[in-house]
Structure 1
Amino acid sequence: MIHRLSGVVGLLLVLLAGLVGQASADEVCAIDDTGREVCLAAPAERIVALSPGATELLFAAGAGERLVAVVDHSDYPPEAGELPSVGSHDRLDLERLVALQPDLVIGWVTGNPAEQVERLERLGVPVFRIEPREFEGIATALERLSRLAGSKAQGRLAAERFRQGLAELSARHEAASPVPVFYQVWDSPLMTVNDEHLIGKVVTLCGGVNVFGGLSRLVPRIDEEALLAADPEVILAGGRGEENRSWLEDWQRFPELTAVARDNLFFVPPSLLQRPTPRLLEGSRLLCDRLEVARGRR
């Protein structure tokens, strides 16, 4: 009898060990952009994205079908617009968010209200924070998000396409003659980027020289007098929307600017450069093309 019981106990232990091993095999982990490791017992099936950039990254990583909610202005890809919103990136509707029972939330390091995100974590909701500051950070974000969502093959492919596209652009423009550039982020107050910003890195990639690249702040404020003194050869801007070119038209007030005199006032849709997603590659190609036009007008 004792022998028989010990055999049963042994069998149960083997089965239990197998279940534990299976649970461990299903677990997925990734390190977010704050350096924290986030682990899930299994790939996420109900994901909420707390920024338009995070939404784009998730779709690009093959996890779009697992998204159950986004925030306002999540307009790409078009399918994102069909998902329910849980507020804006800087003011979340926590009640609505929690009611969706997400098993993963993708936060933005500096863009979401810290107290609301921390409250989510206290409620037991895993939060994975991202905010790529380098080209490679976009690629690894795709890979890490796809790992958490169980779409590793798609994420890896998207990451490699992004890396390859940037490498080709870099090789094509590495010997290009420098072009002094001003990139306008906002009009009032007048704002630009420094060389540490991703947009500043795109300017450098294309052979441009950011006339305010050496400033200490990532997104510094400047005045018109500083811009006139810098006299860039090219002015690049987005606008209040994907088609609004009013910011560029306003610079026509200064015909003495080299950029105005040579008609080097170029529009790039803001979402292609101001969101750190794979579409940054498309924005980079446009920016590089604009600088080539400027070189041809010398």
Structure 2
Amino acid sequence: MKSLLFALILLVTNPAMAAERILGLTPHVCEILYAIGAVADVVGAGEHCDYPEAVRSLPRVANHRQVYVEASLRLKPTLAVGLRDNLPGMARLSADGVKLVSSNPLTVQAMFDDMQRLGRLTGHEDEAQLAVRALRSRVQALQAAQSTGHPRVYYEIWHDPLMAAGGGSLISSVLDELGLVNVFADVRLEGPRVSVESVLLAKPDIIMLSGESDIAARKAFWRKWFGDDTPRFVIADADLLHRPGPRLIEGMEKLQAALDAVHE
């Protein structure tokens, strides 16, 4: 009886021991919380959160434009994690005592750092460290298998207007980790608009298409411009590579497999 009473006293006097009630406002945040063992603490999710399966049935409390304040507060959250803490509605949550945390990692390393930071904030530090260690080992395995060449890559984010992965993007970090050269790395933006002429002048060895456009149409478009010098095409999994969460590493593995296939 005394031990139970002592445990209850500790729980009341040490909030860090109590489970948070978390709003995961973006897909990558929900995926991180799942990977570090905190998914059971998530009580509400953003509109586009679809992984893991457990988050699909959660109340929807935000989209990319705003937080649904009343729906959020009904869930009695203690912590809200989103891309930015100045999203409309976040100030209301803060005024009601909800802790606000932003997470927008733009490099693979920053994603690992955010996993560990969220692990500390949610009381899942050990699980976060184990998850990061396992993911790092997978990246290291990819790097150990890299060839000595460094192919030049044009990664097409979108076709109309024409947008590339710039040097300030998560994709540019992924390419760097895989030993590839982003032809627009010097443009320190996430998704700069580019011209056909600038792509031609960049002389990529590989054109990466994200699968969010009509692949056949995009291949035909670039073949028309490059002619006999058309680079090889590689299709990237946008669902994995455009989210800065743990499944990013799976996306990198699939991307490397696709690269290996075009080199055979």
Q: Does 1:70 align with 2:45?
A: yes
Amino acid at match of 2:248: L
In structure 2, how many angstroms separate the alpha carbons of the residues matched to 1:68 and 1:260?
55
Q: Give the aligned partner of residue 57 of structure 1.
A: 32
Q: Give the aligned partner of residue 251 of structure 2.
A: 283
Shift of 1:214: 1.1
Cα distance change of structure 1 residues 171 and 274 upon mapping to structure 2, 3 Å threshold: same
In structure 1, how many angstroms separate the alpha carbons of the residues matched to 2:18 and 2:207?
45
Q: Does 1:203 align with 2:175?
A: yes
* RMSD across aligned positions (CA): 2.6
Shift of 1:277: 0.8
Q: Give the aligned partner of residue 218 of structure 1.
A: 190
In structure 2, how many angstroms separate the alpha carbons of the residues matched to 1:211 and 1:107?
31
Shift of 1:152: 2.8
In structure 2, how many angstroms separate the alpha carbons of the residues matched to 1:43 and 1:185?
42
Q: Does 1:148 align with 2:86?
A: no
Cα distance change of structure 1 residues 262 and 188 upon mapping to structure 2, 3 Å threshold: closer
- State the identity as a percent: 28
Bigger mean CA deviation after superposition, 273-282 or 203-212:
203-212
Shift of 1:121: 1.0
Q: Is the 8 A contact 1:236 1:266 kept in 2?
A: yes
Unaligned runs of 5+ in 2: 1-5
Structure 1 residues 1-298: aligned runs within 5 Å: 22=10, 26-28=14-16, 42-109=17-84, 113-173=86-146, 175-240=147-212, 246-247=214-215, 249-255=217-223, 264-296=232-264
Shift of 1:262: 6.1
For normalisation by structure 1, the TM-score amounts to 0.77
Unaligned runs of 5+ in 1: 1-17, 29-41
Q: Secondary structure at the match of 1:191?
A: strand
Q: Give the aligned partner of residue 12 of structure 1.
A: none
In structure 2, how many angstroms separate the alpha carbons of the residues matched to 1:89 and 1:199?
20
For normalisation by structure 2, the TM-score amounts to 0.86
Residues paired across the two proteins, number? 258
Q: Secondary structure at the match of 2:109?
A: helix
Bigger mean CA deviation after superposition, 48-57 or 86-95:
86-95
Shift of 1:258: 5.7
Amino acid at match of 2:14: D
Larger Rg: 1
In structure 1, how many angstroms separate the alpha carbons of the residues matched to 2:108 and 2:222?
35
